[in-house]
Amino acid sequence: MKYLEEFRDPVMAQKLLAGIATTTTRKWVIMEVCGGQTHAIIKNGIDQLLPRQIELVHGPGCPVCVTPLEMIDKALAIASRPEVIFTSFGDMLRVPGSKQDLFMVKSGGGDVRMVYSPLDALKIARENPDRQVVFFGVGFETTAPLTAMTVWQAYQQKIDNFSMLVSHVLVPPAMTALLSSPENRVQAFLAAGHVCTVMGWEEYVPIAEKYKVPIVVTGFEPVDILEGIFMAVQQLEQGRAEVENQYTRVVKREGNRPAQELISKVFQTTDRKWRGIGSFPQSGFALSPEFEKYDADKRFDLGDIRVEEPPECISGLILQGLKKPHECEEFGKRCTPQSPLGATMVSSEGACAAYYNYHRR
């Protein structure tokens, strides 16, 4: 398949590995931001093929993993209401809240449905005018255009029995927060190619300049990731800190302007809590005042739900690059993909699930 097979080419991968090996002269810590990249790295054993001086740490770019427990409990409270049809992408259904998950609500009689697009949820709302239909809008900038389009269509078509529980998060503020931490270990980033497809990469330039970190926009196939690492290592070794684009077949500097315009029409930035890590200013999207009548949080008046994370789960440290999954006491014991204690074990993009599924014990 064009644009896929050549980025899985073992000969090209070996050339890049040789380039990385001859370029590296000292220790470097590089963070891949996106959970999809983490999954590809562990699945293909890329971290084990690199020179020992290169350490890859796994970033907070898994939307399921960083959705706060309070938000999941809100989803569960809404989904339990008899008048509600609650819709979500499949990966959120198994994420445990403080007491149960959406599958348990469904087995208890709740009308919980998996959809492949928020537009499917809007169709369900159109077909069920006497029910309240709610979509769980989780994700990074990548999925924000689609959720924005759905709210925009609900507004245009005057579908008032539709609302959305919005938990969108944004990558640049999270990178800034990581770099500002006194505990930061990250010296270069592989930025998430799909996020940059939507938003472009201009917003990363001030981060690279201020914190003196190379940022390489990187794709998701093994050759993409190796090339991204090679570009980052070259910058580190040469003392450069610039934004470079490895994923040129998809990402443009300015991103997708129509998608950005739609996002800014429907959403505004807001402070957002990231599970296990903390609150970052202006790190998420919320519905703008014109569209706030579609905000499920306000429609169902859930108040302020506060819950504690399981104390044994160190996923917050993992998502900051400070620990690895197998350093968790519960990894593979009480916490497995079949019985997850934390979100990084639930999501297929989560670092703990990747380590477990590819036998990194």
Q: If binding is defined by CB under 6 A, does position 344 make contact with ligand SF4? A: yes
**Identity of residue 63:** P
Stretch that binds ligand SF4, among 9-17, 86-94, 146-154, 306-314 (CB under 6 A): 306-314
Stretch that binds ligand SF4, among 53-61, 77-85, 235-243, 312-320 (CB under 6 A): 312-320
Q: Identify the burial level of 10 via C-beta atoms within 10 angstroms of its C-beta, where 0-12 means exposed, 13-18 middle and 19 or more buried.
A: exposed
- 321-340: contacts with ligand SF4 (CB under 6 A): 325, 328, 330-331, 335, 340
Q: How many residues bind ligand SF4 (CB under 6 A)?
A: 16
Q: If binding is defined by CB under 6 A, does position 96 make contact with ligand SF4? A: no
Tokens of 194: 């799909």
Q: If binding is defined by CB under 6 A, does position 347 make contact with ligand SF4? A: no
Stretch that binds ligand SF4, among 12-20, 172-180, 266-274, 344-352 (CB under 6 A): 344-352
Candidates 125, 263, 341, 354: give the one binding ligand SF4 (CB under 6 A).
341
Q: If binding is defined by CB under 6 A, does position 314 make contact with ligand SF4? A: yes
- For residue 123, give every residue at least 6 positions away whose Cβ sits within 8 Å of its Cβ, in sequence order, or none: none
Residue 331 exposure: Cα atoms within 13 Å on the Cβ side: 22
d(CA 148, CA 263): 6
Minimum gap (Å) between residue 325 Cβ and ligand SF4: 5
Q: If binding is defined by CB under 6 A, does position 274 make contact with ligand SF4? A: no
Give the Cβ contact number of residue 244 at 10 Å.
19
Q: If binding is defined by CB under 6 A, does position 315 make contact with ligand SF4? A: yes
Torsion over CA: 89, 112, 302, 118 (sign): positive
CA end-to-end distance (rounded Å), the chain: 34
Q: If binding is defined by CB under 6 A, does position 262 make contact with ligand SF4? A: no
Q: If binding is defined by CB under 6 A, does position 354 make contact with ligand SF4? A: no
Distances (CA, A) of 88 to 93, 127, 311: 7, 17, 28
Q: What residues make contact with ligand SF4 under the rule CB under 6 A?
A: 312-315, 318, 325, 328, 330-331, 335, 340-342, 344-345, 352
